[in-house]
Amino acid sequence: MKKIILICLVALTFAYAKDSVEFNYADENTQRKNPTSQNFILSYNNVLENVRTSVVNISTRRTISSGRAYGNPFNNRQEQMPQGASGSGVIISKNGYIVTNNHVVAGADEIKVSIAGDKKEYSAKLIGTDAKSDVAIIKIEGKNLNAVTFLNSDKVKVGDVVFALGNPFGVGETITQGIVSATGRSGIGIVEYEDFIQTDASINPGNSGGALINSAGHLIGINSAIISRSGGNVGIGLAIPSNMVTSIATQLIDTGKYTRAYLGVGISNVNEDMSSFYDNKYGGLIISVEENSPASKAGLKRGDLIISINGKKVESASGLKNIIGSFQPSRVVNIKFLRDKKVDIINVKLGSLDNQIASGTLNYKGMDVVALPTELQKLLRASANIRGGVLVDNVELNSEAYSIGIIKDDIIVQIEDNEILNIDDFKTSTSSLNKKRIYLFRRGNIFAIVL
């Protein structure tokens, strides 16, 4: 009997030991090293001294309105008042091209640039802007300026030591230190195309457009925004990655505007419930395909999961959007996708996003127009004998549409001699670059403007 009990105890002990946890311990021989001594100072001065003259202070002056005058719906500036603002920028060429944020220079009547160690104040010319990514290019007349060195931002890793250079609160040239907290941040809602590098280096108002530099002195991003309830730094700074910056800057310098490629699909992420249908892969899930779009012509269908483009892995729907948006129209790309748990590859010639209807919205001269809701359309027919139109859903601050007085909820009913009944009519009537008479319905009246 005693033998039987002993055997049982041994078995129980073995069973318990089988499920026990084994801890991983550090090597006990790990040595501490003191980085400081009387003859040794830990410093990045040699790296930062070279790059500090690549980062500039930008000051702007613009005219703002003191209020709206409702007597005349288009006289929405009762009194013009000058306003000053400051930000930062980064020199990207020896002959004076500078990258900054769109929101730093948007609507500016005057742009001035100063460089550390240079007493001269330069007048800058606006070359081009891209509000969808918040990138802008300006230029000063200069020679042999200290152009920054770029790093491929795909090589940036979480934990890399970084420095934020800029002009916070207008106090002057300032450098702060931190690490890369995350990469590929999107879905924040700051701009339409988001692929931010997140850092805990202190970024404050005025740092916008400044440089995010790694410990080797290379530019990895342009500081763009912070997430904060108070408006001050709380350790969540966001920078536009250098690869996005160079792609956009090249086209802005060449043509003055940035035109994105267009695939023509509605996309979403693969949620947990859906993942088993797609072998637990990540990517951009096609939920709709627009008629006569590049995707439709190539044979892509609803339910296809795009997993890579030109060999670059697609991690999410926003990642797919950013990759497509980084290409220029007419580019042929190699798309790998999953359909019915089988991987297929096709080549697609991309179209142009300019004047394409995306999610039912069309952007023109800084205003977003959408189809009239059915109930509003019925009301207009009954009360104002208006057969149709398009609704202004949003107007970007300091855009061309804003500058002439167009506001949210205006209804565009006619352009030149063309009655506007729907989005397609609007798209056709705005296809040329000529000035146009646009007729708006607002608060029971129709007004004409030139845009």
pLDDT tens per residue, range 421-442: 888 888 888 877 678 899 998 8
Q: What is the pLDDT of residue 118?
A: 86
Range from 145-154, 302-311, 355-364, 410-419 carrying the lowest mean pLDDT: 355-364
Active-site residue, from 54, 114, 181, 208: 208
Q: Is residue 228 part of a domain?
A: yes
Please report, for the domain that includes residue 278, its CATH number.
Answer: 2.30.42.10
- 369 shares a domain with 348: no
393 is catalytic: no
Active-site residue, from 54, 59, 86, 103: 103
Domain count, the chain: 4
Most confident segment among 9-18, 187-196, 298-307, 361-370: 298-307
**Cα-based distances in Å from 390 to 361, 376, 379, 451:** 10, 11, 14, 16
pLDDT band (50, 70, 90) for residue 303: very high
Short-list 335, 254, 54, 27, CA closest to 173: 54
Q: What is the pLDDT of residue 73?
A: 42
Domain end call among 352, 378, 405: 352
The domain in which residue 278 lies consists of 261-352
Residues listed for the chain:
451
Domain end call among 201, 230, 255: 255
Range from 14-23, 81-90, 265-274 carrying the lowest mean pLDDT: 14-23
Q: For residues 243 and 168, give the distance between their C-alpha atoms in angstroms, rounded to a whole number.
A: 25
Name the DSSP class of 30: P
Q: Is residue 31 part of a domain?
A: no
Active-site residue, from 54, 86, 114, 134: 134
Q: What is the pLDDT of residue 366?
A: 83
pLDDT tens per residue, range 39-61: 778 889 988 998 999 999 999 98
What's the mean pLDDT in 103-112? 88
Q: Is residue 37 pLDDT above 70, yes or no? A: no
425 is catalytic: no
Q: Is residue 365 part of a domain?
A: yes
Please report, for the domain that includes residue 222, its CATH number.
Answer: 2.40.10.10
- 241 shares a domain with 208: yes
- 247 shares a domain with 165: yes
Q: Is residue 37 part of a domain?
A: no
Q: Is residue 44 part of a domain?
A: no
- 105 shares a domain with 133: yes
Domain end call among 352, 386, 418: 352
181 is catalytic: no
pLDDT band (50, 70, 90) for residue 74: very low
Burial 264-278 (b: 16+ CB within 10 A, else e): bbebebbeeeeeeeb
